Structure 1
């Protein structure tokens, strides 16, 4: 089980899911997602997958869906893809193409801080927007810590098109979050249907794997079977 986090987050968001999978006897790894760009992040994940033997199930949250959809293409060891409130791109799609295809996303330019770095700029969700936008069903103290430790996304990633998606040849499952204010549930349903994913819906914010870990683990187990 390879658990891939998204933007404005890190691998700690998978803690309860990883615990549940490990208790069920599954080997689990939750690698860092560099968040530098779709092609670069997919290449990094592909390099990690190349070190793992046996059948693999890739599980992604949010932007991580862009990454696994590209990293798994052509990898015969990957047997299933699981998307948790995640982007499921087709070839040529960008993040804004999918995020704003339907109304409801609160991750707008006004909700972001852009901080320059030597190679461009990084995007962060502003503190005033973070809990309501990203983690509305988690305690305020938890959301505050998540905001403080969020990993930024390289701003140029918003303009980068996705490549040939792995879901064209690998079966997929989708956990849709009905109360998501990052990726509207209508967009999630559209992407899942387009990919032919087996869909389960839960009442959850964007971080469905944190607020609904049991449902997330159950879906991953079904994908594994």
Structure 2
């Protein structure tokens, strides 16, 4: 590896490499998520704020990881996403209406100003479990949600049911943030989910 790295650097390339968490680790990870995250972080570091072109050269085991780790990091995908508010390795909200479309304008802008960046990598890291298969779930379906439209929420609910999950659905005409626009109804829903009757 050192020879290859040296030759590439001599040819004018910047080289990024690291040992994977699953290799030589006295406390090895139990699934792929740590290795996938490590590969993705390394590629995002290489891309940098400048949007550098990157050639990924996985060897052996790393080839398996690259398939999961590089999703969305292709040059075309990054260029297409640039208009949607993505700046690797973060996602930034660009439109207050996505989360707060049913709030008065002043409140909408206030809460929008409080939003922070979100790690892009976390959107591509697989979940490690599905507790909803074991624990009964209450779901508040926000009908005017522009971040996750009602149809998308309904598809997720159907997926839970198809896999044997128990899910009780309450519909509310609200945006993505009902705790702001419909706080009373949201509190009542939580209390009912907690087992209170007559709410």
TM-score, normalised to structure 1's length?
0.46
* Pairwise CA RMSD: 2.3
Distance 1:136 1:223 in 2: 26
Residue 90 of structure 2: which of 81, 103, 122 is its match? 122
Matched, 1:198 2:168: yes
Cα deviation for residue 196 of structure 1 reads: 2.7
Cα deviation for residue 113 of structure 1 reads: 4.2
* Equivalent residues in 2 for 1:73-88, closer than 5 Å: none
Specify the structure having the higher radius of gyration (Cα): 2
Cα deviation for residue 133 of structure 1 reads: 1.5
- Could you say which structure has the greater relative contact order, defined with CA pairs below 8 angstroms and 6 or more residues apart? 1
Counterpart for residue 101 of structure 2 = 136
Matched, 1:207 2:177: yes
* Equivalent residues in 2 for 1:31-110, closer than 5 Å: 110=83
Structure number with higher strand proportion: 1
1:217 to 1:190, Cα distance in 2 relative to 1, 3 A: same
Gaps of 5+ in 1: 1-38, 41-95, 97-107
Gaps of 5+ in 2: 1-32, 35-70, 72-80
Distance 1:219 1:148 in 2: 28
Cα deviation for residue 150 of structure 1 reads: 0.6
Deviation sequence 1:157-216 (CA, Å, 0-9, x none): 121111211111111101101111100111212222424311110111111221111221
Distance 2:82 2:193 in 1: 36
State the secondary structure of the residue aligned to 1:111: coil
Q: Is the 8 A contact 2:90 2:117 kept in 1?
A: yes
Distance 2:107 2:176 in 1: 14
Distance 2:156 2:172 in 1: 16
Counterpart for residue 221 of structure 1 = 191
Distance 2:178 2:192 in 1: 17
| Paired residue total | 113
TM-score, normalised to structure 2's length?
0.51
Distance 1:213 1:220 in 2: 10
